[in-house]
Structure 1
């Protein structure tokens, strides 16, 4: 198992420079690794193990197994409601005589595609990170210049601080696109989760969105009234019909019972994915609302600067937030995450002083006194 999944640990390398937040990484890194791991496990089970085993008399079992896997199997939905005493009402949940009623059958073909769909979902989850890395272009690492470490020679530290201050002053009010592109990537994460929930619901014929709720409600049901939703969506035993010509040329029908051990893995995989996606959708929705507050309520920005670095005074944070637009404020906020707190405080203090000196207060013009003399 380690050899199979060991390559995914590269995604969890500790970053010395952070250009995003925790939720962004949960969506782009953790969820991507989760989906890739599930895809690899299901692929290994599907192509290395025995994903289907069918019981039929008079025919080679490997022929029926291959046929039923590459075509489809089916259940009788009505038989799930009669599963309370297996072996009496029905042989197994969902398994009953079809009486050649094609409309009453429910076919399952998704299990061939699960590993590919999970891999495609992983690509979709990684896309916002790929876009943000391309947009960001290493700007944060470039302007931090190693000031995230306290152990630095005073001469070198002073020179780097001067370069950083020059950059911030020369490129004042030019970082709006930097901030809005990142926030757009966060919004893309939310859109991706909602889109994937809809896609998985379509993939499972409208059964996925309520999947987790039905599993939770199962615990409250009496034992004799339980209809396991995991068995309904991921049946463990299904039916398959194989036709062949007999000795006289007539068509013979072979009704086989198929066991799908792969669905034991599928049902546990997708119940975890369901809960994880619902939690992510809620958290990302709150994050988008939080970003809207930052954009449209400037009064919260000084408080967030102080929350990032307690050594900043309220007056300094207010003055800085007032003189910067939302793009510059976001850059300073992210610098607070990546720089040493003492160095960051020194940089912000010097930046505030230089901004004040560049914008001297405007004096009121002298007014003429009523007697014709100018007032002082």
Structure 2
């Protein structure tokens, strides 16, 4: 009981941690947010059903006392059951009857909890790698997001908002880029690309785990097959998938004898498992395909920055005043990692705040162009220069 309650608390902690992360791109949201929440909530609800209510109810002989009946329920739940259509005769061979034992229902909540953690691990590793690079991208996204939330409802002109952005968020981003370069940060885009590749591989592995959990002897692609059976009216009584009524064998010991008894059991959980597993089968296929396409896209962007530059050019084109800094000079000042940071800002914040941030950063770009190695080595230089301007 205490271990199950502890598992539920861990699931709740994971959910709360997930929602404070930056949104990321579509594949990142599908993997590290939506899928984690779906699996964690499913795990918590199903795990609670194991000790609240009766996950399995067996029809025991009349001579069994309540203690015996409770024991049989617990034994059959832990030991496993098997399915034989009610219109077929049970084989006298115990091994024949139990060749396809149903045991997945004991492990489903724990497998879902494990999968939720595995889907979150690429995001965790990405955060560790970006911290190693010297730039706290998550904190930067949150900072700009909070700043934008504080001023977006104010009655201000475009130029006045740009001036406000120039005073705080733009300085913050430039200072972060320069301090990260002091640590020789050059691999943020590479780290993110590796995390997307990991997400794609992990999604396909999780899909394989889900498929092997049921290990259907009839279907290789059991998701569409079971859905097709349901549409055609072939329910569990015919196919044996997610059966509601199963059999269970157990031994009763008496002095000088051991008697094998067989009881019928009702697996209420399979009513929910059937719908949940069909949904997850299609969902994980969708997530795996999107993650694979996304990883290929980021691999291409790692080798070719033209898309990120095009996005930033579109933002710069909305500037009310022509800047003395050309687009090429701005891209050179940003560098590959700065370009990646601006791309992430656009992904997480949206076009409007990203355009304000991009234009304001170009407006003050000249003040932050590094002119000498001595200036780069001075950690306080960006902050001192900002103070003098004020």
Asked if these proteins are the same fold (TM beyond 0.5), I'd say: yes
Query: Is 1:271 aligned with 2:264?
Result: no
For residue 75 of structure 1, report the CA deviation from its aligned partner: 2.1
* Alignment-derived partner of residue 361 in structure 1: none
Contact 2:186 2:337 in 1 (8 A): yes
1:241 alignment partner, SS class: strand
Residue 238 of structure 1, aligned match among 246, 249, 252 = 246
Q: Find 1:187's aligned residue among 180, 190, 197.
A: 197
Asked if 1 retains the 8 angstrom alpha-carbon contact of 2:81 and 2:103, the reply is yes
Give how far 1:156 is off: 6.8
Counterpart position of 2:360 = 346
Find the aligned partners of 1:6 and 1:211 in 2 and give their Cα distance: 31
- Asked if 1 retains the 8 angstrom alpha-carbon contact of 2:236 and 2:244, the reply is no
For the 8 Å contact 1:238–1:258, the answer to whether it is kept is yes
1:99 matched to 2:89? The reply is no
Higher normalized helix content (fraction of residues): 2
- Tell me how far apart the structure 1 counterparts of residues 37 and 251 of structure 2 sit (CA, whole Å): 43
1:289 partnered with 2:301: no
Aligned-residue offset at 1:107 = 0.7
Distance in structure 1 (CA, Å) of the matches to 2:79 and 2:231: 37
> Matches of 2:313 and 2:162 in 1, distance apart?
26
Separation in structure 2 between the aligned mates of residue 198 and residue 229 of structure 1, nearest angstrom: 26
Match of 1:69 among 77, 80, 99: 77
Contact 1:316 1:349 (C-alpha < 8 Å) held by counterparts = no
Partner of 2:29: 25
2:344 to 318, 334, 345: 334
- Kept after mapping to 2: 8 A contact 1:308/1:333: no
Segment drifting more, 95-104 vs 281-290:
95-104
Distance 2:298 2:344 in 1: 14
282-291 vs 230-239, which deviates more? 230-239
Task: Give the 3-state SS of the residue equivalent to 1:284 in structure 2.
Answer: helix
Aligned-partner Cα distance in 1 for 2:56–2:334: 63
TM-score of the two chains, using structure 1 as the length reference: 0.73
* CA distance 1:124–1:331, change in 2 (3 Å): same
In 1, are the aligned partners of 2:248 and 2:265 still within 8 Å (CA)? yes
Distance of 2:179 and 2:18 partners within structure 1: 36
> Quick check: 2:333–2:365 contact (8 Å CA) kept in 1?
no
CA RMSD, 1 decimal: 3.9
Q: Give the direction of change, closer, same or farther, for the CA distance of 1:168–1:11 in structure 2 (3 Å limit).
A: closer
- Aligned pair partner of 2:223 in 197, 208, 212: 212
Give deviations 1:58-113, integer Å, cap 9, x for gaps. 4332232122122121124xx4xxxxxxxxxx43xxx6412315245311122222
1:280 and 2:287 matched: yes
1:41 has 2:45 as partner:
yes
Report which of the two structures shows the higher radius of gyration computed on alpha carbons.
1
Change (3 A) 1:170 1:127: closer
After superposition, the Cα gap between the structure-2 partners of 1:342 and 1:185, relative to the gap in structure 1 and judged at 3 Å, is: same
Q: What residue in structure 1 maps to residue 157 of structure 2?
A: none
Q: Is the 8 A contact 2:190 2:302 kept in 1?
A: no
1:50 to 2:76 alignment: no
Distance 1:209 1:131, change over 3 A: farther
TM-score normalised by length of structure 2: 0.71
Q: What count of residue pairs does the alignment treat as equivalent?
A: 334
Cα deviation, 1:192-239, whole Å, max 9, x if unaligned, reads 111112222232235686221112322564x4xx35499633221111
User: 1:346 and 1:230 mapped to 2: Cα distance?
Assistant: 67
Q: Which runs of 5+ in 2 are unaligned?
A: 1-7, 155-159, 373-390
Secondary structure of the equivalent of 2:243?
A: coil
Return the offset for 1:261.
Answer: 0.8
Superposition pairs for residues 288-327 of structure 1, below 5 Å? Answer: 288-306=295-313, 311=318, 317=327, 320-321=330-331, 325-327=335-337
Provide closer, same or farther for how the CA distance between residues 21 and 309 of structure 1 changes in structure 2, counting only shifts above 3 A.
farther
